[in-house]
Amino acid sequence: MNGGNMGHRIREKRKERGLSLKSLAKAIGKTPSFLSQVERDLAEPSITSLRDIARALEVPIFYFMLDSQSHNPVVRKDQRKRISFPGYQLTFELLCPSLSQDMEIIQGRLEPGGMTCEDPLPHSGEEATLVLAGKMEIQVGSDVYVLSEGDCIYYYASLPHKITNTGNEELIFVSAIAPPSF
């Protein structure tokens, strides 16, 4: 996972929220020693752990990747903030310049067989996802939908959801999430 000072940002936000290492670790179902290693950038959290940390600290996961809030409205292709989860064959890129707006836009890439999480996960807000390439299976609540290039789905993100690449090529999709909460 790319990020350099992600652990520092987690520790900063934990302290800002007035949480001890032990209380945050308990909230995410991990040991304080694991969380301490994450905060010192000695261990990389899984996507599930990072989402749990973000949820407990009430920030989107990309918050940990941003050094400062940018005022430039343009995000160049080679300057996108990026998070990779090799175990899930998954990469997310932030397409908006900051998380201080009313909407978050991300691009996801999933290798064949890759998924966004083990079990469907909810977050607050609403989400629209457009398939740019490949074949997507998305579970929203108890419903499962199959989407192909050009198809779009709109759903309430409070319903647990999970995206899986069921095709033979890379799945590329863009999601707009309001408010930023992914």
* Residue 157: CATH number of its domain: 2.60.120.10
63 vs 67: CA distance, rounded Å: 9
Tell me, what amino acid is at 120? P
Same domain membership, residue 124 and residue 54 = no
Q: Are strands 152-156 and 135-140 parallel, antiparallel or unpaired?
A: unpaired
Going residue by residue through the chain, which has 182 residues, state the pLDDT in tens, using 9 for 90 and above: 444 578 988 999 999 999 999 999 999 999 999 999 999 989 888 888 888 999 899 888 888 877 655 567 888 999 898 888 878 889 999 998 888 778 999 999 999 999 998 889 888 899 999 999 999 999 999 999 999 999 999 999 999 999 999 999 999 999 999 988 76
In sign, the C-alpha dihedral spanning 162, 168, 172, 176 is negative
Q: What's the predicted TM-score (pTM) here?
A: 0.73
Q: Which two tokens stand for residue 153?
A: 């789905």
Burial of residue 108 (CB within 10 Å: 0-12, 13-18, 19+) is buried
Identify the domain containing residue 92 by its residue range.
77-178
Same domain membership, residue 167 and residue 133 = yes
